Structure 1
Amino acid sequence: MQRYYPKLAILCSLVSSHGMAAAMDQSGQSLLPFLEAGHYFEASISAADPEVSGRTLGTRPDLVNSGVDDYSTDNIRQNFQYYSAALKLQLKPELSFGILYDQPFGSDLHYPLKDNGSFSDPALSKQGTQINVDTQNLSLVLGYQAFKNFNLYAGPAFQNIKGDVSLRGLVYADLNGYNAMFKEDAAIGWLAGFAYQLPDIALKAALTYHSKIDHNINVSENILGTPLLLLDETETKISTPQSVNLDFQTSVTVSTLLYSNIRWVNWKDFVIRPTQFGALSERTTTTMSGGTYTGGFNLDDYQKDQWSASVGVAKKWTQQWSSAFDLSWDSGTGDPASIFNPTKGYWGIGLAIQYSPEPDYFISGGAKYFWLGDVTAQDGTYNLPLPGISEASKVGEFNDNHAIGYGLKIGYHF
Structure 2
Amino acid sequence: MKLKALSSAVLFACLPTSTVFAAALDRSGQSISAFLQPGNYFEAGISVLDADVSGKLKSDFTPTGGEKSTVTDLAGTQLGDMANSYQFYNAALKVQMTEHLSFGLIYDQPYGADAEYSKADQRHKVLNDKLSGDLGVSQVGAFTAGDEATNVSVDTQTLSFIFGFQPTENWNIYAGPVYQTVKGDVSLHGSAYGPLGGVTCLPLGSKVTCSQGANVQGASTLTRFTGYKASISENSSVGWLAGLSYQIPEIALKASVTYRSEIDHEVMVDETMPYSILMGSKIPQMKKDYKFNEAKTDITTPQSINLDFQTGIMANTVAFAQLRWVDWSEFKIRPNKFGQLAEGLTAYHAKENGINDRKGFDLVAYEKDQISANVGIGRKFNDQWAGTVMVGWDSGAGNPVSTLGPTDGYWSVGLGGQFSPTPQSFIQAGVKYFMLGDAKSQVASHFGTDVYAAEFKDNDAIGYSMKIGYRF
* TM more than 0.5: yes
Whether the aligned pair in 1 keeps the contact of 2:267 and 2:299 (CA below 8 Å) is yes
Q: Which residue of 2 aligns with 1:251?
A: 312
Q: CA distance change for structure 1 residues 219 and 88 in 2, over 3 Å: closer, same or farther?
A: same
Distance 1:185 1:193 in 2: 27
Q: Which residue of 2 aligns with 1:387?
A: none
Q: Which residue of 2 aligns with 1:277?
A: 338
Q: Of 100, 106, 115, which residue of structure 2 is paired with 1:100?
A: 106
**CA deviation after TM superposition for structure 1 residue 274, in Å:** 0.4
Q: Of 138, 150, 171, which residue of structure 2 is paired with 1:129?
A: 150
Q: CA distance change for structure 1 residues 69 and 286 in 2, over 3 Å: closer, same or farther?
A: closer
Distance 2:274 2:444 in 1: 21
Q: Which residue of 1 aligns with 2:134?
A: none
Q: Which residue of 1 aligns with 2:28?
A: 27
* Structure 2 gap segments, 5+ residues each: 65-69, 124-139, 198-226, 277-287
Q: Which residue of 2 aligns with 1:320?
A: 384
Whether the aligned pair in 2 keeps the contact of 1:84 and 1:103 (CA below 8 Å) is yes
Provide the secondary structure at the position in 2 that maps to 1:381: helix
Q: CA distance change for structure 1 residues 358 and 164 in 2, over 3 Å: closer, same or farther?
A: same
Distance 2:316 2:275 in 1: 62
Distance 2:425 2:141 in 1: 52
TM-score after normalising by structure 2: 0.82
Matched residue type, 2:161: L
Provide the secondary structure at the position in 2 that maps to 1:62: coil
Q: Of 86, 96, 111, which residue of structure 2 is paired with 1:90?
A: 96
**2:188 aligned with 1:167:** yes
**CA deviation after TM superposition for structure 1 residue 345, in Å:** 0.2
Alignment size in residue pairs: 404
Identity %: 43
Deviates more, 1:52-61 or 1:185-194: 52-61
**Cα deviations across residues 235-259 of structure 1 (Å, max 9, x unaligned)?**
1000000000000000011210111
Q: Which residue of 1 aligns with 2:400?
A: 336
**CA deviation after TM superposition for structure 1 residue 29, in Å:** 0.3
Whether the aligned pair in 2 keeps the contact of 1:229 and 1:276 (CA below 8 Å) is no
Whether the aligned pair in 2 keeps the contact of 1:179 and 1:224 (CA below 8 Å) is no
TM-score after normalising by structure 1: 0.94
* Structure 1 gap segments, 5+ residues each: 385-389
Distance 1:369 1:233 in 2: 45
**Cα deviations across residues 146-165 of structure 1 (Å, max 9, x unaligned)?**
23310000000000000011
**Cα deviations across residues 264-289 of structure 1 (Å, max 9, x unaligned)?**
00000000000100011111111111
Distance 2:26 2:72 in 1: 39
Q: CA distance change for structure 1 residues 68 and 232 in 2, over 3 Å: closer, same or farther?
A: closer
Q: Which residue of 1 aligns with 2:211?
A: none
Whether the aligned pair in 1 keeps the contact of 2:61 and 2:75 (CA below 8 Å) is no
**Cα deviations across residues 106-159 of structure 1 (Å, max 9, x unaligned)?**
000101112334443334xx2111110000000100000123310000000000
Whether the aligned pair in 2 keeps the contact of 1:99 and 1:138 (CA below 8 Å) is yes
Q: Which residue of 2 aligns with 1:287?
A: 348
- Written as runs of structure 1 = structure 2, the 5 A alignment for 1:142-153 is 142-153=163-174
Q: CA distance change for structure 1 residues 163 and 383 in 2, over 3 Å: closer, same or farther?
A: closer
**2:178 aligned with 1:120:** no
- Written as runs of structure 1 = structure 2, the 5 A alignment for 1:190-205 is 190-205=240-255
Q: CA distance change for structure 1 residues 110 and 53 in 2, over 3 Å: closer, same or farther?
A: same
Deviates more, 1:281-290 or 1:109-118: 109-118
Q: Which residue of 1 aligns with 2:417?
A: 353
RMSD of aligned Cα (Å): 1.9
**Cα deviations across residues 309-358 of structure 1 (Å, max 9, x unaligned)?**
01000111111111100000000011111111111100000001110011
**2:372 aligned with 1:308:** yes
Matched residue type, 2:390: D
Provide the secondary structure at the position in 2 that maps to 1:257: strand
**CA deviation after TM superposition for structure 1 residue 65, in Å:** 5.7
Deviates more, 1:171-180 or 1:51-60: 51-60
Q: CA distance change for structure 1 residues 33 and 361 in 2, over 3 Å: closer, same or farther?
A: same
**2:467 aligned with 1:409:** yes
Provide the secondary structure at the position in 1 that maps to 2:78: coil
Q: Which residue of 2 aligns with 1:231?
A: 292
Distance 1:229 1:132 in 2: 29
Matched residue type, 1:44: G
Q: Which residue of 1 aligns with 2:38?
A: 37
**2:401 aligned with 1:380:** no
Whether the aligned pair in 1 keeps the contact of 2:181 and 2:235 (CA below 8 Å) is yes
Deviates more, 1:60-69 or 1:135-144: 60-69
**2:239 aligned with 1:189:** yes
Whether the aligned pair in 2 keeps the contact of 1:228 and 1:276 (CA below 8 Å) is no
Matched residue type, 2:166: Q
Distance 1:264 1:38 in 2: 29
Q: CA distance change for structure 1 residues 225 and 149 in 2, over 3 Å: closer, same or farther?
A: farther
